[in-house]
Amino acid sequence: MKISVVICTFQGALYIEEQLESILCQSRPVDEILLLDDGSKDETVELATRLLEKSGIRWQIVRNQENVGVARNFEHGIHMAQGDIVLTSDQDDVWTADKAEHFERVFLENPNCVLAFSDAKVTDVNLQVLRESLWEASGFGEKQQQLFQEQRYYSVLFSDNVVTGAAMGIRKRFAEACIPGPEGTLHDYWYALCAPAYGTILPIAEKDLMYRQHGKNVVGIPGKGWAGKLKRWMHTVKIMQTDRTKRRIRAQRLYDYLNILRTEKGPVEINRAQLPELIEEAKKWVDFSGWRDSLNEKSRINGIGQILFHVLQGDYRKYVNKSGIVMQEIAGCFLYRNKGEAQ
């Protein structure tokens, strides 16, 4: 089994050396490193080149002429990778020395596994630990972990992504079958949504990296304290409509993708016995997401009434299980709307 590392960078000079050194010092050496830079103007590429030239392993650096974004950059890197397993990496974290070893063991012992992801420690810029568990900080608690063990992945994933790309490993052939993902959806989330159609998703309890928070992360962890929570709460209300639209598009794309798998044979074996149930679950997600996306077009009274109806139906627990989401939804009916309330 060969392991490739795909690391995507953008203005990463502050941290790229420390990250690459941790990857190059693995107890199970990786077989290949692909670095795709998305138009950095700092010394990211130069610093990485100096380290990789001395590494003694296969490596390649690709410099994008235009900024393509995180998801497309990772897709390109995964397509280029020659390993059986691809570990995706951020530019600003630090791996523990046995991360590659842990992932190799999981994939060797579980041939049906197409995607695995580990826990991590959340740190500040100086790698001082802020939170002992990324899973706990991001809402992947005991209940969610139990649902994954029961292979009820969509019961967790339809609400939110719990698979962090910086802590993810995937089988290359599976990942290629999922490319490209929908606009507005990060690569890690799309692979997680597609994975149940092909095999299993396995969480790795080891904390295999230091997940650095520095204020410029593409995806970060919400701040502590009342001020941080209030700021996050108001920001969520403000971007609610955009988020609804992205969720509708994501749900529809997954539903369409699963239906294609039902009729077409591809290069990767599909879990055909499970596929009809997955399609049915995806259709319900589409219906709920479509309703939410149209919510701002409704009158305040009608919108709030429908919100409460879906709360009673348990739909919010299934599809948007976030603390305070119902009150945020109601607040959005008053603050951000696309047309005037019916008189």
- Residue spans per domain, the chain: 3-212, 227-335
Superfamily name with CATH number, domain 3-212: Spore Coat Polysaccharide Biosynthesis Protein SpsA; Chain A (3.90.550.10)
Look at residue 254 in the predicted model and tell me its pLDDT: 98
DSSP-assigned letters across all residues of 215-229: S--SS--PPPHHHHH
Return the pLDDT at 333. Answer: 79
Which pLDDT belongs to residue 323? Answer: 77
Cα 169 to the center of its chain, rounded Å: 12
pLDDT for 299? 85
Nearest partner of 96 among 220, 211, 217, judged by Cα: 211
The predicted structure's pLDDT at residue 343: 33
pLDDT at 118: 98
Amino acid, single-letter form, for residue 32: E
pLDDT of residue 340: 43
pLDDT for position 298: 82
Q: Which pair of structure tokens corresponds to residue 149?
A: 């063990």
Which pLDDT does position 214 carry in this prediction? 79
Q: Can you tell me which residue has the tokens 């920001």? A: 235
Q: How far apart are CA 157 and CA 60, in angstroms?
A: 33
pLDDT for position 207: 96
| Mean pLDDT by groups of 10 residues along the chain of 343 residues | 97 96 98 97 96 96 93 96 98 97 98 98 96 94 96 96 97 96 94 97 96 67 63 74 91 96 84 94 97 87 92 94 85 65 38
**What pLDDT is stored for residue 337 in this prediction?**
58
